[in-house]
Structure 1
Amino acid sequence: MNEITLHGAITLTASVSTLYSFRLFTYIRESKTKKKAQMGDGSR
C-alpha cells in the first residue's frame, strides 16, 4: 500500500512538473515573440 501511494505521488509530481515546464516554455516563447513584434526588429 505504501509503495503504491509513493508511486502515485511520484507520477503525479512528474506529470504536474512536465505540464508546468511546458506552459512556462510556451509563455516565454510567446513573450519573446511579442517583444520582437513590439520592437519591430528581432535583434535577438
Structure 2
Amino acid sequence: MLAGSSLLTLLDDIATLLDDISVMGKLAAKKTAGVLGSDLS
C-alpha cells in the first residue's frame, strides 16, 4: 500500500515537472520568435 501511494506521488511530481518544462518551452519559443521577428523587421 505504501509503495503504491509513493508511486502515485512520484508520478504526480513527474507530471508537474513536465508541465513546468512545457510552459518554459513555450515562453522560450515566444522569446525566440520575438527576437527573430525584430531581427527581420
Match among 30, 37, 40 for residue 34 of structure 1: 30
State the Cα RMSD in Å: 1.3
Gaps of 5+ in 1: none
- Per-residue deviation at 1:24? 0.8
CA distance in 2, matches of 1:35, 1:9: 39
Report the number of matched residues. 37
| Correspondence for 1:21 | 17
After TM superposition, where is structure 1 displaced by more than 3 Å over at least 4 residues in a row?
none
Q: TM-score, normalised by structure 2?
A: 0.72
Answer 1 or 2: higher relative contact order, Cα 8 Å, separation at least 6: 1
Tell me which protein shows more helix as a share of its residues: 2
- Per-residue deviation at 1:14? 0.6
Gaps of 5+ in 2: none
- Per-residue deviation at 1:34? 0.3
